[in-house]
Structure formats: C-alpha cells, structure tokens
Structure 1
C-alpha cells in the first residue's frame, strides 16, 4: 500500500522556504555542500517514508532539514571597527599568521613574541601596518606578563580590548609518562596553563568592560590519550577545563569563550626536526639506567621515528585554524569548540562513541604504532623475574620438608 505523500511534501516545503530565505539574505551559498546536504536529506526522506508513520516522518525530515540549513548558514559577523586583540606566541605558526590576518582586516593587534629581533618579529614588522604592536613576553616570567598587562591597559584605553588569543604553547619531549622527566610536565604547565591563566586573569577587567572574547588554542592531545604526548596533553587538558569554567562564570558579563582544537599543521615548531633530535638525545642521556634497560634504546628510537613520520603528514595550509580564530572573535554567536583540520570529525566521533579498545587502536594506527619495551619481548627476562632472581641467594633450593610430606 502506498504511503500518503503529504507529510514529506510539507517538510520539503519548509526546507525550501528556509533555504530560499537564506539565499536571499546571502547567508547560504549554492555549491557542493548544499547539494550534498539535499542529497542526504532525500535519502533520509526515502528511509522515513518506509520506516516511520507519516507524522513522525514529517517531524524527522523537517528537524533534519532545519538543522542542516542552520549548519550551512554563514555566521553573522560583527564589524571590526577599532577592535583591539592581544595574541600570544606570534613568533611562528598560528599566532604569526593570525596576527597578519587580523591586522589586514583592520584590527589593532598586540602581538607577543619571545624574541623581538627574531625572524617572526621581523616578518610581522615588514608586512603589517603600524597598528600592530610587538611585545616581548615569556609566559614563565611574571615580570614579562606584568609589563604586557600594563602596556595593554595603557594602549587600549580608547578602543578597549576586544579579544585575547591564548596561542602560545610548549612541548619539548616525546616519550611515555614513565620516561618523561617531571620537569617536562612542570615546564608544559608553566607555559600552557599557569602563564596563560595569569595573563587571562590580568586582562579580565578589560574584557569585561568590552564584553569581549577569549580564544584559546588547545590540542586533541588534551582530549585523547595520544601516545608519548602526556606532558603536553595534560597541560592542554587543564587549560581547556579552565576555559570551560571561564565560559560559565563569564557568561553574565557577556564574555564569550572559545577553544580551538586543531589537527596537525606544518608550523615552524613542527618542522624543526633538529629540535626533536636534540630532545631525544637529552632524554636518552638522562634516563636512569634501570629504565633504559627495561624499555631499550630502540623503543625510544621507534617512537621518535614514528612521531617524525606523523609530522611529515601535517597540513601545510594554516588558514583553517586562522579562520577558526577569526570566527571565534567576530561571529555574533561563536562556537565553544572549533575543530579545524582534516579528519578531526572522524577522530572525535571515534573518541566519543566507539569502545575503548578501538579508540586506542585508532590512535596507535593514526599517530604512533605500538612497540613492546625490551623487558616485555619474548625471550627477554621480565622485570619481576629479574628482580626476584637478584634478591634470591639460592635460586634452586631443594624441596622443603613441608613439600616432601
């Protein structure tokens, strides 16, 4: 028996009316994304017609069409006008490219760098307008942070401070937690968490006054147990939780908080193979002898090589991250999370919805393939048996009297 066609037609009329309205307002573009969305809706309609009662089919198709068109709509942007933004970590990578783009859009950009005479600072001076101000800041030094806070307060008194982009980040070791020095965890936390926390708190009076934005560059390593990135990932996880807390607490003040979780991109720090080689040599030179014997030098070499191989697949175009930061600063309703980068949607789907074993296997396949420590390989004495043999003065005793009875 044929299904009554009117519910489906009613849903399509609703979708068509909204699409036409968005096209007239220039909120929607004719292109592949729209055509793909319509094709998926047609497939959904076909399924609903066969599996659901008429009214349920109408509701499902109408809601799916409304959500799809909402996702495809181009966000409403606020005018740049005389807005001022402070960006940290502009020596290289995302920070430098974001500073260049925001300056070109007309922002007053305060860009912090570690070295005022470094190549990144020279490039920004050469290609940006006189509105851009370069500030030297090391997030591990409270005096540097205080100086930047005073400068920002003095130079945004007329325009106000619209946004803070916490971009500066640090990672200097690729190793298991047991092999990573505790000092590495501390250095990551000092820069990626405590320094950013101190700067953000210091700028909150300015941001509250402007009802502005806080944008923080996080990392998927802060959400997922990436092999060999525990020190970096732990600091990023702490930072993201802090931003979520700020998002709730600052909502009454009108401040919007966003976190960017980018995939792997070819920034200067990623491409600096010499830095990673030096880090590996320092790790091997300072490992306790017992740990080096248990894991093996070849284990560390394997993970180092796999890490460098994963970096070779990094994306060269940084614009998705820069565009996400820009949207978080200017969208009337910015997202709380942005995931720029190829395959990020699939990665987070696997992380949130698949069993733990499959999640772990995916990360190992995608990032670093597993390798057994030396002490766990077949034919090698395990750590427990080795310790017991060392402690037992008589490894082959005869049967005890109790056992003989």
Structure 2
C-alpha cells in the first residue's frame, strides 16, 4: 500500500494547488459541483490503486483532476469599466437584487420601476450609489416605453449601452386556461411579450454600437405545460422564442443573447402582500366566471388550486443570488451561455420533461406544482375523489364507481 502513497498524494497535491489558485482568483466557487467532483476523484483514486501501476495512476488521476477543475472554472470575464446596463422591473425580486449587485460592482445602472415611491425604489435610492438612476415605466404603456428609450439615449450618450436585462414580468391569475379570461392572456402578453419586444427593438441601435448583451428572464412555465399557468406560460414561451430569433439574427452584429430560466424563488415584496394579492385574484375570478363554468368546475375546485399554489410559493427559495449571479455572468462572460437554469431541481425538471413519457411528465408537474382535483361536473353527483384516488382511477383500465370522500 505504501507504493501508492506517493503517486496518489502527488496527484492530490497538484489538484489541491490548482483548486487553491482558482479559489484565490475567484475562478472557482465552493459548492456542490466542487464537492461532487472531489468525490468522483476519490472514487477514481480508489479504482486506480487496485487496477493500475503507480505511474499510470498518477497520470490518470492528475489529468482527471485538471480536467474537472477546468470544467468547474468560471469562464473569463470582461472588465466592468464604465459599462451601463438597463434593468426592467426593479421594484422587487430579481430586478431589485440585480440592480444592487451590478451597482456595487461598478456598473452604471438604469433601473425601471412601476412606482418611484415603492418600497423597492426607496431601498435602491437608500443603498445604491448616485450612479444608479431610477425611471418609472409601465410595460403595458407604449408611451412609457418610448419615454424610457429617450431616457436611456440621454444617459448613455458618453458611455454607450452595454446591456439590457429584461426582467419585468406579470402573472396575476392561477387557473385552468378555460377559466382564465381572455383579457388576462392579453395583459400577460402586453407585459411579458409586446412590452419586452418594443423596448428591446428600441434599444438595438445602442446595443449594436457597443456589441453588447441582452439578458431575459424566462420561466420553465414557458417550456412546460405547468397546471393553471396558461396565460403566463404562453406569454413566456412567445418571449423566449423571440429571444432565440434575436440570438440568431443579431449574431453578425456581435450582440449576445441569453435567457435565464429560474426555478421557484421568492420574488414578491412580502408574504402578506402576496397572500392579499392572490386572494383578491381568486375572488375576482370567482366573481366574473360565467355561471356555466362555475357550475362545471365548482368553487371548491378553484379554492383547491389556489391552496396548492400558495403552498408551492411557501416552499420557494428566498436566496435570489443564483439568478443574480447568472445575470452577471451573462453580462460579463466572454462566452455567455445561451441558457441558464438556476434553482433547485430545475435540471431534473427539464430531464423529466424531455426524456420521460407524457404521463410521467404530467404527474411530475402536478406533484411539483399544482395537482387539481376533479371538476364538479365529472363527479357523477358525488364529492370528487382526492388527487391520488383520481390518478389511481385513471391508471385502472376498468374503473369501478368513483369512491365518495368527504368535502
């Protein structure tokens, strides 16, 4: 066993020296990927000790460690210098945190907010440098967007515009597509698609001049049929496709386009405000639902999906730094990724969506997000089964009568 000490120890010494150097240069981040790589190297070391001669083991282990650390290293980044970035939707959530981070890094940040006196706007004024400029803009109002375009042109005349972060977004209803008013689809499209389109097109001359960056916050709901997010998901799907088109068409101009598809994060201004907003949304839906649909689905159906939605929100991750870090990387990496997937379980979600059968995909999204109960009209005059019983009945090729449960 002693003959293995020097090759194994020598290889680990090389790996440790490079890892330490990368950590000191901030090219490597402590976290699960690094721990996983070290665990795999330890397993490889164990196999080498039993299968290979010492010199071959040293070469293989050192090469594997070097490759692993190279893969984990952050790509080279551009200097911040005097770069100016416009971020939309900075009242709260990702936009506010990204504005604070970029301002602290030395960017000149132009931040749009819905209300210049909102808590988020006041916080940005209080904690950021004088280089950060706030601008009121409503993405549903073309006049506001036109005014913002003029504002950006004036404030970037000397520095140019390096980046646009399309963060502003809207989702104000949770319901089946049949239950969601057409006006809600239009509103989501106005904010998430048409507003983003108008702003991006208006800024392209400045971005072409700087060969800059476009970073857009998407959503997995735009890639997958999340239950009860039809209006929001379709608008995000349209926006992401638009960014893919821009990515291809703007490549000759040197503009790089990235889309960030975050998992479930807590982005609201406060839990009490969120609960009140969603309660008002539910009551508004119930009050305006045609009687025929209310009879078919039942008020308890809508109450159930809102309870499940609020439960999923309670499990959201409060730390927004993974998304903010990806925004920074998309703005400064010499070769930014086309897609970023920050958040817990997002990789698994996309694997299931693209690789597993449709029935398993549907069940996963229901278990992960919202599992609707059976609509009233399908209960055959009896209280609806629980979601688990409903799945069991769907899987049975010869189902018997639906079991009655207490409501």
The TM-score with structure 1 as length reference comes to 0.82
155-164 or 337-346, which deviates more: 337-346
The 3 A distance-change label for structure 1 pair 310 and 234 is same
Q: Give the conservation status (yes or no) of the 8 Å contact 1:19–1:28.
A: no
Q: Give the conservation status (yes or no) of the 8 Å contact 1:23–1:29.
A: no
Q: Give the conservation status (yes or no) of the 8 Å contact 2:91–2:115.
A: yes
The one-character-per-residue Cα deviations of 1:5-33 (angstroms, maximum 9, x if unpaired) are xxxx9xx98x9979866765644468764
Unpaired segments ≥5 residues, structure 1 = 1-8, 51-59, 382-405
The 3 A distance-change label for structure 1 pair 28 and 96 is closer
Unpaired segments ≥5 residues, structure 2 = 1-6, 51-59, 384-407
Q: Which of 320, 336, 350 in structure 2 is aligned with 1:348?
A: 350
1:193-208 to structure 2, matched below 5 A, reads 193-208=193-208
Q: Where has structure 1 moved over 2 Å in runs of 4 or more?
A: 15-36, 38-50, 60-71, 378-381
The 3 A distance-change label for structure 1 pair 222 and 68 is farther
Given the alignment of the two structures, is residue 85 of structure 1 paired with residue 53 of structure 2, yes or no?
A: no
The one-character-per-residue Cα deviations of 1:244-293 (angstroms, maximum 9, x if unpaired) are 11111111111111111111111225731111000100101111111111
The TM-score with structure 2 as length reference comes to 0.82
CA distance in 2, matches of 1:42, 1:24: 20
Q: Which of 304, 314, 337 in structure 2 is aligned with 1:312?
A: 314
How much does 1:86 deviate?
0.3
The one-character-per-residue Cα deviations of 1:64-94 (angstroms, maximum 9, x if unpaired) are 8776434311222211111000000011111
Given the alignment of the two structures, is residue 366 of structure 1 paired with residue 368 of structure 2, yes or no?
A: yes
67-76 or 158-167, which deviates more: 67-76
- SS of the residue corresponding to residue 205 of structure 1 reads helix
**Equivalent residue, structure 1, for 2:186:** 186
The 3 A distance-change label for structure 1 pair 17 and 363 is same
**Equivalent residue, structure 1, for 2:213:** 213
**Equivalent residue, structure 1, for 2:336:** 334
The one-character-per-residue Cα deviations of 1:321-352 (angstroms, maximum 9, x if unpaired) are 11111111111111111111111111111112
The one-character-per-residue Cα deviations of 1:173-210 (angstroms, maximum 9, x if unpaired) are 10000000011000000000000000000000100111
Q: Which of 268, 275, 300 in structure 2 is aligned with 1:273?
A: 275
**Equivalent residue, structure 1, for 2:226:** 226
The 3 A distance-change label for structure 1 pair 314 and 270 is farther
The 3 A distance-change label for structure 1 pair 241 and 282 is same
CA distance in 1, matches of 2:356, 2:15: 35
The 3 A distance-change label for structure 1 pair 166 and 379 is same
175-184 or 16-25, which deviates more: 16-25
The 3 A distance-change label for structure 1 pair 270 and 175 is farther
CA distance in 1, matches of 2:376, 2:351: 34
Number of equivalent positions: 367
CA distance in 1, matches of 2:164, 2:111: 10
1:385-400 to structure 2, matched below 5 A, reads none
CA distance in 2, matches of 1:111, 1:48: 55
Q: Give the conservation status (yes or no) of the 8 Å contact 1:216–1:260.
A: yes
CA distance in 1, matches of 2:29, 2:280: 49
**Equivalent residue, structure 2, for 1:400:** none
**Equivalent residue, structure 1, for 2:301:** 299
- SS of the residue corresponding to residue 196 of structure 2 reads helix
